[in-house]
Amino acid sequence: MKLHVRWSPIVIGISALVVGLLRLELGNQAALTEVLWAEDGLFPLCVRAHDPISCTFEPFAGYLLFVPRLGAILLATLPISLWPFGAAFLTMVITGLLSGAIYSALKSFGLSMFGSSAAALAYVLLPITGLEVIAGVGSLNAPLLIASAVLVVAVPRPSCWPPAVPILLLVTALTIPTAVVLAPFIALNWMWRRIESKVAVIWLAALSIGLLAQATVVLLAVDRRDMDLSITSMGNWVRGLLDSVLSLVPGLSLGDVSLTPFTVLRPFPYLAWLLVGLLAITSVLGVIHGRNSPRKSIAAQLVLLALPISLIPSLSGTFSFRYFVAPVTLLVIALLVLIDKRLERLSHLKVTVGSVLLALLWMTSFPASGLRSSPAPAWSAELDRVSAECQAGQVTWVEITLTPAWPPEGAELTELNQPRLRCISLTG
């Protein structure tokens, strides 16, 4: 038993790491060596050009991205030619740790090994994850939110390491302001006596410290992000959520969808509102009636969390499927929590056959998308270009272009967020 408890989360973590790197590699064999994705390159460039402290607390897109910024400090110590692989590997190591934490929490709560494992690996396996976020340092806010949500509502047993949850909440809040939605659920589980008063205070304090720092950065940021609570943004939210959920159905495509950062969605708006309404109503009822049924309560709370987690970034006025990766994952984990008892009663043969069939159906969606895995430009070619530029002219700085042809023309970036490199750094 001790061996199982000790090694299972490690196996889950390693599995998540391997799956993430494999999906990127299958999307494009050059991805791990040639694709340096947007912020994954921008942040270590900042460290090379300035200093780690200033870069760590520099806002990006109007808020603080603590974990990606810390990761950039590690990446900046590597030879610059290794940054693509370093970014992907670091991302999947952190994702693996979070997957192991999700497994431990759900297993200690009483889920079966299969249910806990499937929930812990859902993020790295789902089709939507491969569109933009797989193995991306800048997208670590998604697994952080997922792990925080699961550990808050599926309250870990006392045998778990006590500082784990408050540390996770602090780090998540410092990385993404959306973590504010976790606070009411901590209070709810304290009211239900699932969390002791002392534990609830510690969790809320850790979350509040992170959110206070985040709020300070948001208010003082030069590149402030305005939130647009309008019919258009709400429409994009519900349509995006519908299409993201439909990504779970193999081969099904509704509406006119373009997988770019400026996606235009036209899938059945009334059906989209119906989906959101049903999720909201059933989850609220589930929370109310699930007070004395922990599994129903966990599932309902995860569904209820998925809604604001997808809504808040959607109010920024732009659309991207990366906003819906964490919510869809939480919906899948909620479903696994609900059906876990039934799955546990099935024979190993039926579970294996079902898993194989599902894997075959999702097989075409397993490799990372062309958008995420195709070099644009190839990192080695970009390094050759800027190296030649440094050698040919009397220049000290060179401009770097990152995948996917980023930053776009006309992008307004602060001084510390400029994709520039000192020529002398090319030897590092």
Reported as a single tens digit per residue, the pLDDT across 211-248 is 999 999 888 877 677 777 777 778 888 888 888 888 88
Which residue from 190, 206, 70, 212 is spatially nearest to 148, judged by alpha carbons?
Answer: 206
% of residues, the chain, pLDDT over 70: 91
Task: Respond yes or no on whether the N-terminal peptide bond of residue 407 is cis (omega within 30° of 0).
Answer: yes
What would the mean pLDDT of 34-45 be, rounded to a whole number? Answer: 96
Contacts of 20 (CB under 8 A, 6+ apart): 88, 91, 92, 95, 124, 134, 135
- As beta bridge partners, residue 37 has 403
pLDDT at 316 over 90: no
Handedness of CA 322, 48, 406, 371 (dihedral sign): negative
Which residue from 170, 165, 180 is spatially nearest to 210, judged by alpha carbons?
Answer: 170
Contacts of 13 (CB under 8 A, 6+ apart): 96, 97, 99, 100
H or E stretch at 398: strand 397-399
User: What was the pLDDT predicted at 411?
Assistant: 78
Rg of the chain over Cα atoms, rounded to whole angstroms, equals 22
Alpha carbon separation from 243 to 240, 280, 300, 322 (Å, rounded): 5, 17, 21, 12
Burial label, 137 (beta-carbon count in 10 A; 0-12, 13-18, 19+): buried
Reported as a single tens digit per residue, the pLDDT across 324-373 is 999 999 999 999 999 999 888 888 888 888 888 888 888 888 999 898 99
* ∠ CA 168-42-84, rounded to 5°: 85
User: What was the pLDDT predicted at 275?
Assistant: 87
Of residues 89 and 132, the one with the higher pLDDT is 89
Angstrom distance (rounded) from CA 249 to CA 424:
50
- Residues 241, 278: contact at Cβ < 8 Å? no
Q: For the chain, give every domain's residue range.
A: 2-225+344-373
pTM (two decimals): 0.93
Reported as a single tens digit per residue, the pLDDT across 198-215 is 999 999 999 999 999 999
Reported as a single tens digit per residue, the pLDDT across 369-417 is 898 999 999 999 999 999 999 888 778 899 999 999 999 887 788 889 9
What would the mean pLDDT of 294-299 be, rounded to a whole number? Answer: 90
Alpha carbon separation from 197 to 188, 235, 274 (Å, rounded): 12, 40, 38
